[in-house]
Amino acid sequence: MTRRYGLTRGDRWVLSAALLALAAAWAALGGDEGGMALVTQEGRVVARLDLERPTRLTVDGPLGQTVLEVAEGRVRFLSSPCRGQLCVHAGWLSQGGAFVACLPNGVAVRIAARSERYDAINF
Amino acid sequence: MAFGTLVSLSFYGLDGEAASRATAAAMEDFRYLHSAWHPYEPGPLGRVNELLPLQGWFTYPPSLRPLLLRARELSRASGGLFNPAIGELVMLWGFHEDPRREGPPPDPKAVAEWVAAAPSLEDVELRGLEMRSRNPRVRLDFGAFAKGYGVDRVIEHLRELGVENAIVNAGGDLRAIGSKGGAPWVVGIRDPRGPGVLARIAVSGDESVFTSGDYERFFEYEGRRYHHILDPRSGYPARGLVSVTVVAGEGALADAAATALMVAGPEDWPQVARAMGVEQVMVIEEGGGIQLTPAMVRRLQWEKPVPEPRVRPLP
C-alpha cells in the first residue's frame, strides 16, 4: 500500500472553507481604509495607492500603457491609449466609492472608503 | 454605439477575491456585448446591417434573436417612438461616430427622405434564424436600449456567479439588486443642467434607474445645439425636454422608455409611459420645470431646492 499525501474531497472542502475565511478576514481588515485607491487590471488588483502620497503609476493593458496620477488626496487617469478618452475626461476622483473603469484597456480605479453619500450616480 | 465605456460595479457582502472575479466576468460581458451589438463596426450586428439593404433572406447570428424580439415589443409599445431601425438617420446626423466629425446638421432633404421611407422594425421579417427587410433603409441601431439590455444580461450573469447584492452602472444608467446588508442602495440623480445631485432615490430588491438626456451627446453649429435623441417622426432631435428618468425593474424597458418619453415630449409622455408599462417617471422640461408621476413623487428626496413639480397621473 502506498501512502500518498493526496487530499480527499472532505479535506478539500475544509481547506477551501479555511482559505475563504482567511480571504474574507483579510478583506475586512485591509479593504476599507479611506484615502486609498484600488487599481485593477482585467479584474486583478495591481496596486493600492495611498492618496496622500503624490505619485504616478503606469499600468499595462492590451492597448498599451495607462498612466494614473495621485495628487492632493485625489487620483485621475492622466493618459490612456484608448480611443474614447472617457477615463481621462472623468477627471479627479476623491470621494469614497468613486469608480472609473477604462474598459478598452481594462484598467479600473476605485476609491475605498466607507462613508459615502451615494452608492451610485444616475445621469 | 452609446454603450457607456465607463462601467462601474458595486458589491456588498463579497470578499475581495469574489468581487474581483465578478468584476472580471462583468467587464468581459460588456466588452463582448459592445462588439456584438455595435451597429457601425464589423461584427455580428454590423454584418446584419450590411445585408439588410439587399432585401433578401439571410442567416443572422442567433445571439441577436432575443435582442431583436424584445426591441420589437418595446418599439411597438412605444408607438414607434423608440425605433431601433433608425441607424441610417443616426448616420445622417453623424452620431454614429464618437467623437462626431465636426460639421453642419444634415441636408433637410435627406432627413425628409428618411422620414418618408419610415424604416421600422415592422419592416423586418424573422423566419427562424433568417431575416430580411422589406425596406432598404432599415439599419439597426440598438443604442437607445442596448445599454439597458446589456446591464440586464450582466446582472443575470452575476446572479449565476452567486452575487446577490450589486449595482451595475453603465455610464450613469444602472440596475441594482439586493441591498447593502439590509439597507437600500442610495442612487443620486444628477442635475441635468446645474452642478451636483438633484434628487436621491433609495432602491432595493431589483430595480433599474435610467436617464436619457439632451446633454449626453450633442454638437453646436452656428449657435444652435443639436442633441442625439432623434425623433423618428421629424428626423430631428426631440424637443421640449432636457431629460427623462425612468425607474423600472428591467433595464431594457427603462432604457427604451426613457428614450421614447424624451421623443414624446412634455405633453404626451404620460400616454407613452402607460403604453410601455412604466409608472415611475421624472421629466425635466427645457424651461426647468419638473413633472413627476404619482408613483415617482413617493420615491424621490430632493437634494436641492426645486420648483414645485407638476404631478402627471398616467391615463
List the domain boundaries for chain B. Answer: 146-155+162-305
Cβ distance of A40 and B23 shorter than 8 Å: yes
A12 pLDDT higher than 60 = no
> Which residues in chain B touch residue A38, judged by CB atoms under 8 angstroms apart?
none
Cα A32 to chain centroid distance, Å, stands at 12
Residue A7 lies in a domain: no
Residue A29 lies in a domain: no
Residue A25 lies in a domain: no
Predicted local distance difference test score (pLDDT) of residue A113: 53
pTM for the model stands at 0.76
CA distances from B281 to B85, B151, B172, B229, B258 (A): 25, 20, 16, 18, 9
Residue A61 lies in a domain: yes
CATH assignment of B146-155+162-305? Answer: 3.10.520.10
Q: Quick one: which of B171, B188, B154, B192 has its CA closest to B25?
A: B154
pLDDT digits (tens, 9 = 90+) for B7-60: 889 999 898 889 989 999 998 999 899 889 999 988 999 999 999 999 999 999
> Which residues in chain B touch residue A23, judged by CB atoms under 8 angstroms apart?
15-17
Distance (Å) from the alpha carbon of A27 to chain B's nearest alpha carbon: 6
* Total domains present in chain A: 1
Burial code (b: 16+ CB inside 10 Å, e: under 16) for B216-241 equals: bbebeeeeeebbbbbbbeebbbbebb
Q: For chain A, what percent of residues have pLDDT higher than 90?
A: 29
pLDDT digits (tens, 9 = 90+) for B214-244: 998 999 999 999 999 999 999 999 999 999 9
Distance CA B189, CA B231 (A): 25
B134 vs A: CB within 8 A: no
B281 vs A: CB within 8 A: no
Distance CA B307, CA A50 (A): 42
Which chain B residue has its CA at the smallest distance from A97's CA?
B10
Predicted local distance difference test score (pLDDT) of residue A49: 86
Domain span holding position A62 = 34-112
Residue A70 lies in a domain: yes
ipTM of the complex: 0.91
Predicted local distance difference test score (pLDDT) of residue A116: 56
Predicted local distance difference test score (pLDDT) of residue A5: 47
B200 vs A: CB within 8 A: yes
Distance (Å) from the alpha carbon of A2 to chain B's nearest alpha carbon: 37
In which band, very low, low, confident or very high, does the pLDDT at A18 lie, cut at 50, 70 and 90? very low
B165 vs A: CB within 8 A: no
Taking chain B (315 residues) in runs of 10, the rounded mean pLDDT of each run is 65 89 92 90 93 96 94 98 98 93 96 98 96 97 93 97 95 94 92 88 96 94 96 98 98 98 98 98 97 97 94 97
Instruction: Return the CATH number at A52.
Output: 2.60.320.10
Q: Quick one: which of B262, B33, B279, B228 has its CA closest to B148?
A: B33
**Peptide bond preceding B99 in cis form (omega within 30 of 0):** yes
Predicted local distance difference test score (pLDDT) of residue B15: 87
Distance (Å) from the alpha carbon of A91 to chain B's nearest alpha carbon: 13
Residue A80 lies in a domain: yes
